Amino acid sequence: MESITGIVITLNEQENIEKCIQSIKWVDELIVVDTGSSDNTIELARKYANFIYKIPFNNNFGELREKALNKAKCDWVLMIDADETLPKSSEKNIRRIITSENINGFWFPRRQYINRRDYLKYGYFYPDYQLRLFKKKNVHYIGKVHEFPNIPKNNTKINSDVEIYHNPSKTKFNSFFSIKRMLPYIDIEAEVLAKTNNNISLVEGITELIRHTYRSFIKLQGYKDGYKGFRAACIYGIYKGLIVIKANKYKSR
């Protein structure tokens, strides 16, 4: 039978870690990689995890996931974030698809909850497919931020029988003030952009802000989520615009 390693990367996730792990505790091997928690995350994870590794974070999410991936011993890897959970039916569906289909990876839709009941159903925010289940062999992660496994898309498949639930405790779209949670990601992405793109400017940053806000709210029908969809579209647009604006600042140094 095909075996599965579940991997969860943590940093001060005592509010979320038990719910997360309980939703995937059926995996054959459960690994928690902690990047320096100062709360009770590790103590809580020890109740369930087969292995806990401490790996420092060096502003490179792809490198971090790669190091975590190298710890896995099973055929397949299920990678979820500490503030995410899977529904109860996931084990049955995942066991079925990895044995019945000749595919190396599966994309699952993700619900972006903004409170305990409501999630964003339109715009960039749903289905927001994530490649989180894949065969481990020969896989490497690409990208410092918004990293992803290097599996050819024609060897992967969308499967909507399994959904990822993103916990609202750390959502970035329930308030305009939550933009501050994005600042570490903005810094990393801006640094990468500044090194790889010579054609960046303040005007382009403002254009990106408007373009992404319009695309999420109008073209991708975020307006159907009402004010929540408008707010989320604006926050995402600001995020994308600030990346370019900050990259331009780096270029000007």
Task: Break the chain into its structural domains and give their ranges.
Answer: 4-169, 172-252
Residue 170 has pLDDT above 90, yes or no: no
Q: What's the first-to-final CA gap in the chain, in angstroms?
A: 56
Residue 124 has pLDDT above 90, yes or no: yes
Residue 253 has pLDDT above 80, yes or no: no
pTM reported for the whole predicted model: 0.93
* Strand (E) or helix (H) holding 165: strand 164-166
Please state which architecture CATH assigns to domain 4-169: Alpha-Beta Complex (3.90)
Residue 74 has pLDDT above 90, yes or no: yes
Residue 60 has pLDDT above 90, yes or no: yes
Q: What is the rounded average pLDDT of the residues 82-110?
A: 95
pLDDT digits (tens, 9 = 90+) for 28-53: 999 999 999 999 999 999 999 999 99
Exposure string over 125-146, b if 16+ CB within 10 A, otherwise e: bbebbbbbbbbbeebebebbbe
Banded model confidence at residue 169, pLDDT cuts 50, 70, 90: confident
Measured between alpha carbons, how far is residue 145 from residues 1, 29, 220, 238 in Å?
34, 26, 23, 17
Q: How far apart are CA 13 and CA 11, in angstroms?
A: 6
Residue 119 has pLDDT above 90, yes or no: yes
> Cβ neighbours of residue 240 under 8 Å, at least 6 residues apart?
208, 209, 211, 212
Banded model confidence at residue 66, pLDDT cuts 50, 70, 90: very high
Tokens of 235: 């926050």
pLDDT digits (tens, 9 = 90+) for 235-246: 999 999 999 999
Residue 163 has pLDDT above 90, yes or no: yes
Owner of token pair 């370019």: 244
pLDDT given for residue 242 in this prediction: 97
Banded model confidence at residue 252, pLDDT cuts 50, 70, 90: confident
Tokens of 248: 């331009």
